[in-house]
Structure 1
Amino acid sequence: MARYTTEMEELTDTPFYILLSLMEAKHGYFIMKSIETMTNGNFIVGPASMYTTIQKLLSAELIELVDEGDRRKKTYITTKKGVQLLKKEVKRRQEMVRHAEKMFKEKGEPLA
């Protein structure tokens, strides 16, 4: 899982959105569609990237397989460990935005 989290446990965008999407149980296609919908099409995860990331998130115990009977469609959900990491990541990103806003304001640069 070192690719997605460092010692500081920072997530890159793909695992961040997959974990966020899996706050409710979903299978692969719906994970991709929910990310596309939540970001208004500004962030799209392809199948190869998604399934590679899912395997790494499973290994790190940030998501788990949910048994719903249909073996053709594997359904996943974010674990408590994954939710905690997401919360930490949201706070980290909020702080980054605050730093950027402060710097732009100090330099008289509008954000829009």
Structure 2
Amino acid sequence: MDVRPLTEPTFFVLAALADRPRHGYGVIAEVQGLSGGRVTLRVGTLYGVLDRLVAEGQVTPDREEVHAGRLRRYFRLTDAGRLALEAEVARQEANARAARARLAVRPA
């Protein structure tokens, strides 16, 4: 299986859904918080990412509810999504370890 690195928005969307299902604006707010404000998703971008993740089987719709007259769609992480997120975390940790080791060596 070819494992591609996740884009930063995809990584944070999966991370936002790791602990519980969330609706679109909840995912946007969680991504903003998890990224320290570095990643700001627009609604169209979020739903593009979610549609792709649903098609790949990493995220699935959880439920719909009406709130203040508007329909909220909730999404949750699947087992495949959790595995993809865990693999990306391991990849990023390995990259950070390699970089730290190089930074520890002082040039002559």
What is the one-letter code of the residue matched to 1:73? R
Match of 2:33 among 10, 30, 37: 37
Structure 1: gaps (5+ residues): 1-5
Q: Secondary structure at the match of 2:40?
A: coil
Contact in 2 for aligned 1:9/1:85 (Cα 8 Å) = no
Runs (4+) of structure 1 moved beyond 4 Å? none
Match of 1:18 among 13, 20, 23: 13
1:61 is matched with 57
1:48 is matched with 44
Identify, as 1 or 2, the structure richer in strand: 2
Q: Percent identity?
A: 20
RMSD of Structure 2 on Structure 1 (CA):
1.7
Using structure 1 for the length normalisation, give the TM-score. 0.83
What is the one-letter code of the residue matched to 1:76? F
Number of aligned positions between the proteins = 103
Q: Secondary structure at the match of 2:71?
A: coil
Q: Give 1:68 shift.
A: 4.2
Using structure 2 for the length normalisation, give the TM-score. 0.86
1:17 and 1:53 map into 2 onto residues whose CA distance is: 11
What is the one-letter code of the residue matched to 1:10? P
Structure 2: gaps (5+ residues): none
Answer yes or no: is 1:8 the counterpart of 2:7.
no
Contact in 2 for aligned 1:14/1:45 (Cα 8 Å) = yes
